[in-house]
Amino acid sequence: MSLQGKGSNHNNNPFGKEDNDLFLDFQNSDFENITGLKHEDIEKIENADDEERAHKLQEAIEQENSSAYEDLDDFVYRQNKKRARTSGKRHHHHHRSPSKLSPGHKASQIKKKHKHKHHFHRHHHRKRRKRWQKITIGIIAFLLAVIIVSLAVLALMINMGKNSLTDKSGLNIEAPKTAEVIDNGNIIYYKGDKYQYNDNITSILCMGIDKDTLNKVDGAVGTGGDADSIFVIAFDLSTGKSKIINISRDTMTEIGIYATNGSYIGEKKAQIALAYAYGDGRDTSCHNELVAVRQLLYNIPINSYLALDLQGIGAINDAMGGITVVSPETIGNFKKGETYTLMGSLAQSFVRTRSHATVEGNSLRMERQKTYLESFASDLFAKTKSDLMTPINIYNVATPYICSNIDANKVAYFAYSAVRGGYKGFEIVNVPGKVKKGERYAEFYVDETGCFELFLNVYYTKVGKAE
């Protein structure tokens, strides 16, 4: 609704502005609130001449703050507002400043005839919304791209890991005389039964080294420490299941002997843990230990190895948030049957401490290590199930404390296979044999028949009777 001004002063605007589109109607009380002038001041202004009145009116209004302008905005209209509203088109209001009101409108003549509802510039808000919508869509698109790339990289890593783990070109089984080997070991006949090699299994040699850190060895033969703990993980890539072959460090077998300058001397029968000492304390030591373990297990292919020093035990344990175990024996700080959540050096103590008062000391320690591995694997699978990157994160924590040919690709494939197959625990089996006191140290002698049958149980499937 357009409001028409009153009075003869309407066409005598001393400001020289067109006043046809600017109309005001408000009461004296509103004028007093906005300008801060009292009623008697308003009368003085009314009695003054046009030029003086305009000057005082403009000076009073200009002293007001921006909030006064916002209040006045409700009273100011453009004459074409009605046309813009009925046209259906969006419009932009150019409101006149309150400081430029026509002095011809006397305060006593101004009456409140209309209350204008506050209006908003919707087109500004819509522009802002569109801009934020674009930004939000861009962020979402970026995050999706990151996820897609990450999944693609992980898939590539998994595929590369599978290829490196399933290389069976080195299969050349050397079985006892009681067994017949066909096609390099793909088929074995034993005690009237036929066994088929499971080529989905990959083997990982794991060694715990009795040195503070592998990164401080000087590379001289004999300074790298011994392999205090020796495990072979037989991991079935098709099912995610695994069996762990626990080999006593005191096992008497043929090991490679090297001179201090690194040259090969030959072989001799000694404790299998010493094979690691005949090397540089890193890769050549791992390789020498791997050769000794392969010979013990009938030349089974072992594609991966990992040696972990003493400090790495606590680092990996703590990265998992601690491992909870029930001690199977009373030794050191631990009591049989008691539950402990291991952190830091306590984890190292649990898996490493052994009694030297008996030749069974290492066998008892192996039982504690078995207990620890079972709890560790259970926790690791639970975390991996919710986050496939967990094994890679743990591996990165372990990197400063290990020597290994296991890269991130293999770790990714291990994680994928374990989650896909579902964790059903794993079986830890000890190489059978007897321990006795040697000239200086305990010596473990393998039961040949029991060891070969364990080997068949882990790596082969019985498929029928011998032909």
| pLDDT for the residue numbered 38 | 57
| pLDDT for the residue numbered 431 | 95
Residues contacting 432, CB < 8 A, separation 6+:
446, 447, 450, 451, 454
| pLDDT for the residue numbered 18 | 42
270 to each of 232, 274, 291, 433, 463, how far by Cα in Å? 19, 7, 14, 16, 37
What's the whole-model pTM score? 0.62
| pLDDT for the residue numbered 111 | 42
Backbone φ, ψ for residue 38 (5° rounding): -85, 170
Q: Chunked in runs of 10, what are the mean pLDDT values of the chain (467 residues)?
A: 40 41 44 54 56 62 50 44 46 44 43 46 55 64 60 58 67 93 95 94 89 66 83 84 90 90 87 91 91 95 89 90 93 92 90 78 84 88 82 86 83 71 75 89 93 97 90
| pLDDT for the residue numbered 387 | 84
| pLDDT for the residue numbered 20 | 39
| pLDDT for the residue numbered 66 | 45
HSE (CB half, 13 Å, CA atoms) of 289? 36
Only one residue has tokens 């507002």, namely 81
Residues contacting 3, CB < 8 A, separation 6+:
23, 24, 25, 77, 113, 114
Distance of CA 112 to the CA centre of its chain: 67
